[in-house]
Amino acid sequence: QGVETQGTIISKRSVSASRASSRRQKLAYRYTDRQGSSHEHTSIVTYDAYDQYEVGQPIEIVYSAKRPGVSAAKYMVDLARETMQKK
């Protein structure tokens, strides 16, 4: 039920995960659904994805056809689909 589209990176942040010294990388992106409504989402991403994208760059997105405000980066959806097929 996913709809593929292109979003734009609007911010990058590296934040403390907890009191421990570990950090989490977050990318925020904006995309427009088929009805023309704009949505924003922030997602925790891998180090590789964080390093790959810069603010203003495009990112492939998959959003829910039934709930367009629900989305994820396409690479994450692809990884989840691969994992489900292996089971």
Does residue 83 or residue 38 have the better pLDDT?
38
Could you tell me the pTM of the whole model? 0.85
For residues 2 and 60, the answer to whether their CB atoms sit within 8 Å is no
- The SS3 assignment for 81 reads helix
The 10s digit of each residue's pLDDT in 10-66 is 999 988 767 666 788 999 999 999 999 999 999 989 889 899 999 999 999 999 999
pLDDT for the residue numbered 14: 86
Q: Mean pLDDT across the stretch 69-87?
A: 88
Nearest-angstrom CA–CA distance, 37 and 75: 23
Q: What average pLDDT does this structure show over 74-81?
A: 89
What phi and psi values does residue 50 have, to the nearest 5 degrees?
-60, -45
Reduce the secondary structure of 40-71 to three states and give it as a string. Answer: EEEEEECHHHHHHCCCCCEEEEEEECCCCCCE
* Dihedral angle, C-alpha 44, 45, 50, 53, nearest 10 °: -100
